[in-house]
Amino acid sequence: MLIKRNLILFFRDKTSVFFSMLASLITILLFILFLADLMVEAIGNDTPHASIEDVRLIVTGLVLSGTVAVATVSSCLNASARLVIDKEDVAKDFFVSPISRSSLMFGYVIASGLIGLIMSGLTLVVTVIYLVLSGSSIPLLTDLVLLLLTLILGVLSGNSMMFLISCFVKSRNAYSSLGTIVGTLIGFLTGVYIPIGQLPGGIAWIVRLFPTSHVASMFRQILAGSALDSLGAPAAAIAEINEFMGVTFTFGTFTTNYLFSATLLLVTSIIFYIIGLHLMKKQSFQ
C-alpha cells in the first residue's frame, strides 16, 4: 500500500513527471544545438578514413548513452522528494501507526526505484529508436538484454544515492535547491556536456570514481562500442577515443570493462542502501 501510495502521488503530480524528463531533454537539445559538431570533429581527427556520417552516428550513440545514465539519477532524484515532503507533513502520523520503520523506508525505496525504471526506461526506448532512425543497426537480442540489465543497475545506483542524500535533507526547499545542483552537475560528471578527456586531471578522477559515470560507460559500450571498433582506425587510436569519450576508464594500467563497472555499481548501491536505512531508523523525522 505504501508503494502504491507513493507511485500515485508521483504520477498525479504532472510537474514532477515533467521535471523527471527535463534533464534528459536538456541534454539532447544541447547536443543537437551545440555539442555535436565539436565532438564529431574531435573523433574525426583520430579516424581520418571514416566517413563523417559514421562518426556522427557514433558520437550520437555516445552522447545519448550519457543521457540515459543522467535519466537514471534525475528520475530517482524527483521520486525521492516524496520522502522529504513526508518528513515535513505526515511523518508523525506514520510513526503512530502499526507499520514498522523498515517497511516505511522500503516503501519509499521501492517506489522511487520503480519510478526511476519507468522514466529512464522511456528515455532508453526513445534513444534506441532515434539511433535506429538515424542509421544505426537494430540492436541484437543480446544487446537488448544488456541494455535492460544496465538500466536496472543504473536505477539501482541512482536510487541508492538519492535515497542516501534524502536522509540528510529535512525540508522540500532544501531538496529543491539540491535538485538544481545535482541536475546541473550530473551532465558534467557523466561526460555528457564535456568529454572526459577534456577535463582537468583531478576532475577526471572524480568522474572515473562516480558510479553514474560507469552507467554511461556501460551504455556506451553497448550502443557505440562495436561501431567504434569497426571504424578501421589503429587499436591505439580506438583506445584513446574510448578513454577520451568515457567508453572505458583507465586506472594506471587497468582499463575498466562491463563486468567491472557492473560490480562497482552493485557494491556501491548496497553500501548506500545500508547506510541510508541505518540513518533513517535513527531519525525521528522531526
pLDDT at position 131 is: 85
Burial of residue 194 (number of CB atoms within 10 Å: 0-12, 13-18, 19+):
middle
The tens digit of pLDDT for each residue in 212-254 reads 999 999 999 998 877 776 766 677 878 888 888 888 998 888 9
pLDDT at position 44 is: 62
Q: Report residue 270: phi and psi, to 5°.
A: -60, -40
Are residues 131 and 240 in contact, defined by beta-carbon separation less than 8 angstroms? no
Place of cell 567504434: 228
Q: Cell for 189? A: 560528471
Question: d(Cα 37, Cα 55) in Å, to the nearest integer?
Answer: 10
Burial of residue 275 (number of CB atoms within 10 Å: 0-12, 13-18, 19+):
middle
pLDDT at position 286 is: 47
Are residues 254 and 273 in contact, defined by beta-carbon separation less than 8 angstroms? no
Place of cell 561501431: 227
H-run or E-run covering 195 = none
10-residue mean pLDDT profile of the chain (286 residues): values are: 88 78 72 68 62 74 86 89 79 66 82 93 89 82 93 95 87 83 81 80 87 93 78 76 86 90 95 88 60
pLDDT at position 284 is: 56
Question: d(Cα 242, Cα 135) in Å, to the nearest integer?
Answer: 21
The tens digit of pLDDT for each residue in 35-50 reads 666 666 666 665 656 6
pLDDT at position 51 is: 67
pTM exceeds cut of 0.85: yes
Are residues 21 and 68 in contact, defined by beta-carbon separation less than 8 angstroms? no
Which positions ≥6 away from 237 have C-beta within 8 Å? Answer: 46, 47
